Amino acid sequence: MTRQAAREPFVREVTVERVVPGGDGLAHVDGVVALVAGALPGDRVIAELTVESPRLLRGRVVDVRAAGGHRRAQEAVCPRAKDGSCGGCDWPALRPESAARLKSEIVFDALRRIARLGDDEIPEPSFVPSRPNYRLRNRLHLDAEGRLGFFGPRSRQVSDLAVCEIVSKELLARLPAIRDSLRAVGPVEGELSTLENCEGTIVLGELRLGVPTGPGDSTKPKRGPFDGFRLVASDGRVLLEDGPLTLDLVVGSASFRVSVSSFFQGNRFLLDPFLEEIRTALLAVRRKEKERRGTLNALDLYAGVGFLTRPLLEVTAGSSGRVVAVEVEASSWSDLSENLGRWEIEGLPAARCVRATAEAFLSSDLTWKNPGDVDVVVADPPRAGLSPVVRQGILRLLPRALLLVSCDPPTLARDLGALGEAYRLSRLTLLDLFPGTHHVESVALLLRRDEGPSVVR
């Protein structure tokens, strides 16, 4: 077969054996691994495949000949997923009750294969499920024709959002009015960020234009159906600010100021369980530290608006230790500073707020100089995980505990493997922050290998 011919798509019937990190279904064709997007374990499907290498085929489902036990009835699948126009979910056909098993398998696969952990080194995880229509924050695309929604699968074409299982019902109800309002901006392309309160009764929006908007534009944008709205030109100029652009979100009895342009956890139904899991893990660490000494020095490397900093402050209350929160993005850092001030007024310990990348902080900051000066580090990095500089910085500080939050099992496993000589995995919780997709949030508590029992409850 010529190289040109090898790249031509071909069709083959396959039976899917399991799912792998990345969400694809794994099958075999003449002994060669085939990764099929949209396929679930037990499915027998017609797949369109392309040769990626002599040992790997990639493709997509063309037709389902026989559904496996994890696939929903076709009539229950979102219409935009059935017709292939929307790429907002990559597992739209998954039965909700199968999420725990399949997502746990993806995490286990990554921990075994990438981190090289044995089964006896992986604690039995808990899994926290979610209801649909969960999104608290959204990032929607606007095209020049006025379509507003997610991109189609493997496409830059916008699928006009009308029905959805991840966007809240309250936002869906506002979308027709939002589209009408955005038409006043003119035939432009851009990205619309939205932020809601947990009840969906307040919706903030920020539209960042993707094409230049000159000073002579005659458009007269308005707030429209948003409770607060900002319009930003492609060069960063603010063209409009109308109404409030921040919300106070109460999670687990703690209040967080969050701006429409700041990062915050996106699943309204799992905010309380998420925060409670962080508290539980940190309290377990605190109990161990009280047996050793009275202080507790803590570091939050990717603080955002302070979602993980808040429970750090709670567990250090009454201690003579210090908390340092590090955040680089301007909007999140502003919210973090405000939240830390509010929490100090409430009676929580004061914290130092540093605007920097985790890499810059660990490379230059001299708050703590010696291994063991920091008792616990929490880190919720972007999908790419911890950089080599951050991993080296953690190993230099050598905290007694590391609480690592990750939305990507392969990068989590890579980081655990890189830290494995110094740390062992002690506690693992999986939160289904992204139902309808293969993504899962992992909360992993690592203890230094010279510390206490191997598992923390």
Alpha-carbon gap, residue 300 to 284, rounded angstroms? 17
Residue 430 lies in a domain: yes
Q: What is the pTM of this model?
A: 0.91
Domain count, the chain: 3
In tens, the pLDDT along 202-246 reads 999 999 998 765 554 445 667 889 999 999 999 999 999 999 999
172 and 244, same domain (yes or no)? yes
211 and 292, same domain (yes or no)? no
287 and 434, same domain (yes or no)? yes
125 and 215, same domain (yes or no)? no
155 and 240, same domain (yes or no)? yes
Written as six digits, the tokens of 301 are 């490397």
Query: Where in the sequence is the domain holding 146, given as residue range(s)?
Result: 137-250
In angstroms, how far is CA 444 from the centroid of its own chain? Answer: 15
Residue 165 lies in a domain: yes
Written as six digits, the tokens of 116 are 């090289």
Residue 264 lies in a domain: no
Amino acid at 416: L
Written as six digits, the tokens of 84 are 């292939």
Residue 332 lies in a domain: yes
Question: Is 84 strand, coil or helix?
Answer: coil
Sign of the dihedral defined by the CA atoms of residues 64, 70, 74, 79, in that order: negative
Domain of residue 24, CATH code: 2.40.50.140
In tens, the pLDDT along 30-64 reads 999 999 999 999 999 999 999 999 999 999 999 99
| Domain boundary residue, one of 48, 71, 94 | 71
DSSP state at residue 423: E
Residue 457 lies in a domain: no
In tens, the pLDDT along 61-110 reads 999 999 999 999 988 999 888 888 888 899 999 999 999 999 999 999 99
187 and 126, same domain (yes or no)? no
